[in-house]
Amino acid sequence: MDAIFRGNKARIERQDKLTFDDLPSGIDAGIKLRPSPRDLDEIGPEFGATWNNYFEHAPDKPVVWLGTFSASAQDLTSNFFLTNLYLSSYAGNNPAAPWGKYFSATYFTGYPISRGRVHISAGLNPYGKLAFEPGYLDHPADLGVLRWAYKRGRELARRMDIYCGELVLGHPNFPKGSQATTHDFARPVGISAPDISYSAEDDKAIDEYHRNTVETTWHSIGTCAMKPRQKGGVVDPRLNVYGVQNLKVADCSIAPANVGANTYNTALAIGEKAAVIIAEDLGIKGISSN
């Protein structure tokens, strides 16, 4: 995939001729992770309330997704949901990265706590720019979760037989003499080998790395959340936009929180329910909400 990501026209033309059945999935394998009590201590106290209220009694909700990725859209830069550590096809935005073949271990948070904001700022001009603030890492707990995920992903990668080192420029800038220092060349470690030891200064380096490179991944939702207006909601339970007449919103933007999965099924469910609501409002007979 390197040639495609770097704009090689001949390679892109060959790829365009492939059928859907010929195309591989970019995600080779993955696992959804929830932290142990020891992990919770490592993530930090800022995450405690969210864990207790949102995750602890909901075993279906993973805190992070971690796995191998062979056709990523971003390399070695932390995304709010996604960070690639070792790439099979370099697609990052660092021009200093040498040409070569890389293996990728990826991670992203399933339910980030930080919230962004988007508002109309051009009056009645529908083409005017929006006042948009993504809010990445506004909540300190998200930094703790990403820090934990970075460490887990690195341990996964260094235990694989194909591991032979790290692309140093794509990792945090650890202090001189740190045990967490990255290496261009290294051998795999055993399954039971001790984990890398990180100091408080190392953790600060990881947090700074995430702040500098944070980015979203796919399936962004929730810009017109269905929840009470006093809690930042935009639409009511019948899809009506607060403060506006004759305007409904019916797409994934009405989700009040993230969906820890592909949003396709969510979009279908919203569309089906919206059809019923709109039909009821129009007085169409024979429509069943069941």
Catalytic option among 57, 139, 210, 219 = 219
Kindly write down the DSSP assignment for every residue of the chain, as one continuous string: -HHHHTT-HHHHHHHHTS-GGGPPPSEEEEEEE---HHHHHHH-GGGHHHIIIIITT-TT--SEEEEEESS-SS-SSB-SS-EESS-SS---S-TTSPSS---EEEEEESS-----EEEE-STT-TTSPEEEE--TT-SHHHHHHHHHHHHHHHHHHHTSTT-----GGGS--PPTT-TT---SS-----TTSPPPP--HHHHHHHHHHHHHH----S----TT-BS-GGGT--B-TTSBBTT-SS-B--SGGG-SS--SS-SHHHHHHHHHHHHHHHHHHHT-TT----
In the residue annotation, 57 being an active-site residue is answered as no
Active site residues: 219
